[in-house]
């Protein structure tokens, strides 16, 4: 059985495998004890195929994980979306989730901004404000209204120290398409336009590219 692996993972898998081989040379028992960590490393970087559900107005989850309480919050100021609070859906990824991130909607990347910061536990609400992040502002396909823009924010967590983002400002993106990942354990926030209808509940388990979070109206 072939396990699809994200390209970011091969270096780490090679390091873990080399350590396992060195330990085996010293003593098989040490190698056996380290083997679960090597298996975990392979599993962490798995990159399974996902198929978005039909419906261009559906907003899908950008990450695997658990949906935290839905709150009203101002989008990252560096995206230029104004001071008006929007509903924010936050997905917390633990170290056992798939960490490949997927685009919640099809459209155009209007703005992209990186901001350094702290590394609080990503399940804490303050992580959205204080932690290191990469923010993207996406205008849904067929829309010319800035009020319908969506923000999706990759947030580093307590252990995470690298955010990978493969999109650039001006790119055309597709709903459910891969666009980055975060190592190791982190969070993604989605800021919705006021017209969007939320269809998930707090504490729901989400799958990137497949779980519908909300629906754009009109």
Contacts of 133 (CB under 8 A, 6+ apart): 76, 114, 115, 117, 153, 154, 155, 156, 163
> What does the alpha-carbon distance between residue 188 and residue 101 come to, in Å, rounded to a whole number?
9
**186 in catalytic set:** yes
Residue 27 has which token pair?
């003593």
**Selected catalytic residue, list 90, 135, 143, 186:** 186
Buried b (16+ CB within 10 A) or exposed e, 175-211: bbebbbbbbbbbbbbbbbbeebeeebeeeeebbbbeb
Q: How far is CA 94 from CA 156, 194, 212, in A?
A: 12, 29, 20
- Residues marked as catalytic: 186
């Amino acid at each position: 059985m072939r396990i699809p692996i994200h390209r970011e993972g091969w270096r780490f898998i090679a390091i873990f495998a080399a350590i396992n081989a060195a330990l085996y040379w010293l003593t098989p028992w040490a190698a056996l004890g380290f083997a679960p960590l090597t298996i975990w490393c392979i599993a962490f970087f798995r990159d399974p195929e996902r198929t978005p559900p039909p419906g261009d107005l559906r907003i899908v989850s950008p990450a695997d994980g658990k949906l935290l309480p839905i709150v009203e919050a101002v989008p990252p100021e560096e995206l230029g979306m104004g001071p008006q609070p929007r509903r924010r859906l936050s997905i917390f990824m633990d170290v056992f989730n798939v960490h490949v991130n997927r685009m919640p909607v099809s459209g155009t990347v209007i703005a992209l901004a990186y901001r350094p910061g702290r590394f609080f536990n990503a399940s804490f609400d303050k992580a959205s404000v204080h932690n290191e992040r990469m923010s993207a502002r996406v205008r849904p396909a067929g829309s010319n209204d800035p009020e319908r823009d969506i923000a999706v924010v990759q947030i580093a967590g307590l252990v995470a120290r690298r955010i990978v983002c493969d999109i650039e400002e001006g790119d055309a993106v597709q709903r459910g398409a891969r666009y980055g990942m975060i190592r190791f354990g982190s969070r993604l926030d989605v800021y919705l336009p006021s017209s969007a209808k939320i269809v998930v509940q707090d504490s729901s388990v989400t799958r990137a590219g497949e779980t519908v979070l909300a629906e754009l109206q009109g």
